[in-house]
Amino acid sequence: MTASLLVVTLVAQVWANEVRVTPTPAPDPYARVPSPVIERVVSEGERRSRLSLFDNGVAVVAVAEDGREVLFRDVALERAELAAYLMAIARDVEQVEGSAKPTMGEHLAQGVIRIFGEDGRAREVRYASGVMLELPFARLVATLDDLEKRVAESPPFEDEVRSWQPQRGDVVELFGGELAEVRDVNPEQGMIWVAYRHGAMVEMIPMSERVRRVLRVVSD
Judge if 39 and 142 occupy the same domain: yes
Instruction: Count how many residues are written for the chain.
Output: 220
What CATH number is given to the structural domain containing 27? 3.30.1560
Judge if 136 and 196 occupy the same domain: no
Final residue of a domain: which of 107, 127, 152? 152
- State how far the Cα of 213 lies from the Cα of 42, in Å rounded to an integer: 32
Q: What is the pTM of this model?
A: 0.69
- Among 13-22, 131-140, 154-163, 184-193, the minimum mean pLDDT is found in 13-22
Interacting residues of 169 by C-beta distance below 8 A, sequence separation 6+: 181, 182
Domain that holds residue 9: 3-152
Final residue of a domain: which of 105, 132, 152? 152
Judge if 55 and 125 occupy the same domain: yes
Are residues 77 and 89 in contact, defined by beta-carbon separation less than 8 angstroms? no
Judge if 18 and 35 occupy the same domain: yes
Percent of the chain having pLDDT more than 70? 80
Are residues 203 and 150 in contact, defined by beta-carbon separation less than 8 angstroms? no
3-state secondary structure of 56: coil
Digit-coded pLDDT (tens) for 66-95 = 888 888 988 888 888 898 999 999 888 878
Judge if 125 and 174 occupy the same domain: no
Mean pLDDT of 152-168: 86
Across all residues in the chain, what is the average pLDDT? 82
Mean pLDDT of 194-212: 89
